[in-house]
Structure 1
């Protein structure tokens, strides 16, 4: 029987892994500790769809393949050269997912876990993509779903969430106000909080990005350039590579370079002030809505992961984002502004000769533009 435990990242108190807990009473965030079986390339089940080829590395009961009732084939996305002129830079086309964003990785695992627990309703808050993913997978799992969104959310993302049958609850305020409203509803209704920020099962899904890179490249890239707001992809990738390192399957962690929009860059501010704690800034407005997080809850973990890999954080302005969007489209990749911000960061990165770099293309342009 699989034994899973929640552990507070602040006070280190341990709790049983249940659908009723999403944060420690001390205010700390949770991580999952479980007895992972040994994993190697022999354990990759290539006959399974998408990211579920790494089923042994995911926290599900071995005799209960509940994910089979939820999956839509998410994961194992193409890893292709950015251009023929640059054989050392690759993009992972993670917008080739059922709901057109990388968030499907985390949503598929989180909703499958909710179904395994017998959850009947979930609540989530989002700037768009995570809400879309949660809504889609909840509908497929026949779980009722409420999604809290800010009034500034892209109309196309709102329409997509609505199409998946979720009950949309609009909040007039900041991204932080939206999260507070969702958390209050969770408390009042006693409902499962399917948060891509707070619920650590979401990161069990996004870590598969690292497993796929390792398998597709047959090695670890030198550098990963990743857009960072709440850090759901960055932290998942870091976790995945740490697991591969612990298994002796890789020899070193790749450098992580996080990219933020200049108009909303609390992580960059903290990094250059050499702080390892949550920082709050004013969101001055950015088209890269997916990383417009003024006070990231997992800031300390994001900063720690970046420093542990000898990485750094850089910022890009609105004109650089727009220019990067045009440049990526000219290469055949039509992405949303948040991914364009990441490419703008790549263009500012001072690369070494023959440095092997991977960039995620996180969301499709059709979702936001």
Structure 2
């Protein structure tokens, strides 16, 4: 394990040794970051490399994977003259979560725990279950009882056990975190474990490569727990530090109007969430219906650092955007349509924009 980087708490600086099954900061119980600062490879050096996200192995905290399913390298499709969609629903498990899950499970394989657990509204659990099947690891997925039956079917098909938790997404996370403290348990948290963020940063690395060493003027991403946004922020900093981009794109987060704690905090000019949670209402966009994201301060800071902001979209707009994408040949789940709904609602003028289509419509019915 000597080649693995240490963990470090972004709040108090507490360090956790590489190779540990510790899933959070021992002092504050918050999420961890990695003490890992790679230099991305230039375009010319990428020629001829494997056609998956592992072509960026030099920028990842793990290399030489054994559990890869060929994840990454998803296509770009033009939606308008200024807006491009990246089809991340064309992944092995039909969602962008494969970018981070493959790193989590590759790490788990090397640590050889007795069991792997994960909590999820569906997509992350499905992804971790698939890669655990590939790695031969015991896996249990904690989900809200109201999770889409199609997502549960997919999780079980990969051989994982499902623990359905009564209550909302927060209750599910609480149950999993309690189980995560048991000895011999690897908590494959896409929120707390920073390996996941280093996987999702390949979304931006692919955009940069496919656009010939440049990026759009604006990156718009859906935000619940913020794993794609924070991964994007990692990639932007690394590319800029290496001199591979001259300026940063603006980074915007999109939330469902029914559950928008980060957008509310942003509008108030706050650095974090208030002590008391705000109102939460049902939404079709279950993947981003997170009332208290643990990395809220990091998310708000990243959006501020990259000159962006937050947009909120009501469920009728999400449904309309989803139907519009389907008529364009792109059938995605509601959460994946949220960014297109935001861009359609307000737009970004003549600036070039990229949006991710994160999950396939086959995972949920058409509302």
- The normalised TM-score by structure 2 is 0.95
Matched with 1:294 is 291
Q: Deviations over 1:120-148 (max 9, x none)?
A: 42110000000000000011000100100
Residue 17 of structure 1 aligns with which residue? 18
CA distance in 2, matches of 1:236, 1:45: 24
Cα pair 1:255 1:309 within 8 Å, conserved: yes
1:186–1:362 distance in 2 versus 1, CA, 3 Å: same
C-alpha contact (below 8 Å) 1:43/1:56 kept by paired residues: no
Cα offset, 1:28, TM superposition: 2.8
Is 1:29 the counterpart of 2:31? The answer is yes
Distance 1:185 1:363, change over 3 A: same
Q: 1:361 aligns with which of 341, 357, 360?
A: 357
Runs of 4+ in 1 over 3 A off after TM superposition: none
Name which of structure 1's ranges 27-36 and 180-189 shifts more when overlaid on structure 2: 27-36
Q: Which residue of 2 aligns with 1:153?
A: 147
1:1-369 equivalences in 2 (<5 Å):
2-25=3-26, 26-34=28-36, 36=38, 39-44=41-46, 46-60=48-62, 65=64, 67=65, 69-82=66-79, 86-218=80-212, 219-279=214-274, 280-353=277-350, 355-369=351-365
**SS of residue paired to 1:122:** strand
CA contact (8 A) 1:81 1:87 kept: yes
Is contact 1:2-1:34 (8 Å) kept?
A: no
CA separation of 1:3/1:146 partners in 2, compared to 1, >3 Å: closer, same or farther?
A: closer
Secondary structure of the residue aligned to 1:170 is strand
**2-side partners of 1:17 and 1:232: how far apart?**
21
Deviations 1:130-174 (A, max 9, x none): 000000001100010010000110110011001000011110011
8 Å Cα contact 2:6-2:17 kept in structure 1 = yes
Structure 1 residues 151 and 246: alpha-carbon distance in aligned structure 2, compared to 1, 3 A threshold: same
SS in 1 for 2:6: strand
1:11/1:28 contact within 8 Å kept: no
Q: TM-score if structure 1 supplies the norm length?
A: 0.94
Structure 1: stretches of 5+ with no match in the other structure: none
> Following the alignment from structure 1 to structure 2, what is the Cα–Cα distance between the partners of residues 167 and 101?
20
What is the rounded CA distance, in whole Å, between the counterparts of 2:250 and 2:73 in structure 1?
22
Q: Distance in 2 between matches of 1:100 and 1:146?
A: 20
**Cα deviation per residue 1:183-221 (whole Å; 9 max; x = unaligned)?**
111113541100001000001110000100000012111
For residues 46 and 8 of structure 1, the distance between their equivalents in structure 2, rounded to whole angstroms, comes to: 37
Gaps of 5+ in 2: none
Q: 2-side partners of 1:122 and 1:278: how far apart?
A: 30
Shift of 1:79: 1.0
Q: Hey, what's the Cα distance between the residues in 2 that align with 1:193 and 1:210?
A: 26
Query: Is contact 1:225–1:359 with CA below 8 Å preserved after alignment?
Result: yes
Output one character per residue of 1:197-255: Cα deviation in whole Å (capped at 9) or x when no partner. 10000011100001000000121110011110001111111111111111110012211
How far the C-alpha of 1:116 sits from its partner, in A, is 2.0
Quote the offset at 1:109 in angstroms: 1.0
Cα displacement (A) at 1:322: 1.0
Report how far residue 278 of structure 1 moved: 3.1
